[in-house]
Amino acid sequence: MEIYLSRPDITEKEIDAVCDVLRSPDLSLGPRLSEFEEAFAAYLGRKRGVAVNSGTSGLFLCMKALGIGPGDEVITTPFSFIASTTPIMMAGARPVFVDIDPMNLNIDSARIEAAITERTRAILPVAVFGNPAGLDKVCEIASRHGLAIIEDSCEALGSSLYGKKAGTFGTMSIFAFYPNKQITTGEGGMILTDDDSLADMCVSLRNQGRGKDGGWLAHERLGYNFRLSDINCAMGIVQLSRIDEIKAKRRQVADWYRQMLAGDDRLIIPSEPEGYDMGWFVFVVRLATDTAGQRDRILEKMRSMGIQVSNYFPPVHLMPFIASQYGHKPGDFPIAESVSRSTIALPFHNHLTEEQVAAVCRALKQAIEN
């Protein structure tokens, strides 16, 4: 029997909520949209939420709302899903990569100031794997240099650092609701900010550039169709109401993995330092020794045993179209590249049983030994 890498956690409550919308005349731009936005902003303790059709769209709208465009630079991490970089490029700005901290895998705050130039407009940190480590230090640097923070918390719903929730550090922040995330709307994202003018701009931009008080055919600016339907929002409302339950399930799976893999010096196991509260997006272990090709052979062996695993993440700066555009080459960001060669994302979702986690751990150890 195959053990899946990820699965959404959908109950009859979500199904009923979606069906209620389908029975109504309001499939888009209806009451569920504002209800989801307000509930999500309230959960994070931020003033405004703006729902959009993906986290990628949300990051792009953050760029546009902040006036970031051609000639500007945005500092970010090369160790992330590609969608933290492409919105910078979509806005016409240049992504400037900074290598990562080898312990927490987030952008290394000690290296950021050396990358700041007169063209730098913002820093885009990513809470990789749901870990908000270093966000406080990044914000201190941004404040000293008068830079905006666009906080990519797409993987970090439910995480916090010293009591401050991920998604509340930045000038603007973004969450995503793809089916592998802590909560899902199928597809979708949420922009958060305490600045009404930025939120209003995002509302306009997501809806074809329509103005706040204008009619349906009155367009004040170039806009986009990045709306999130009431169908998605209804699902999101129920998922958000279950966030404590969902978070507890994910913590249990993470705890099983950490207990069963503890003491294996061939592996680096994710930790949760004092003062951190992890929302647990994925469970990614690393090989302690960076042996050429070993990780890929382990992935292949585990897949042959019916266990879905993956490498998280390939270095963004070495994606061919990015490397060719900006002249990046292997060795530019050695820590991110080394980490990328050693990562193994294990099956991780709310439905995993203790027996399945044990089977994954046995398979991993067997694959390493072989």
- 3-class state of residue 123 by DSSP: strand
pLDDT-based confidence at residue 289 (cuts at 50, 70, 90) = confident
- How many Å is the maximal CA-CA distance in the chain? 66
Give the separation between CA 99 and CA 106, rounded to whole angstroms.
8
Q: Is the pLDDT of residue 1 over 80?
A: no
Q: What are 214-257's pLDDT values in tens digits?
A: 889 999 999 999 999 999 999 999 999 999 999 999 999 999 99
- pTM over cut 0.75: yes
153 Cβ neighbours under 8 A, 6+ residues apart:
127, 132, 159, 166, 167, 173, 174, 175
- pLDDT tens-place string over residues 59-99: 999 999 999 999 999 999 999 999 999 999 999 999 999 99
Residue 292 has pLDDT above 80, yes or no: no
Cis status, amide bond into 169, omega within 30 of 0: no
* CA of residue 170 relative to chain centroid, distance: 14
CB atoms within 10 A of CB 9: 18
> Alpha helix locations (H) across the chain?
12-22, 31-44, 55-65, 86-90, 109-112, 135-145, 196-206, 230-241, 243-261, 294-304, 320-326, 334-340, 354-369
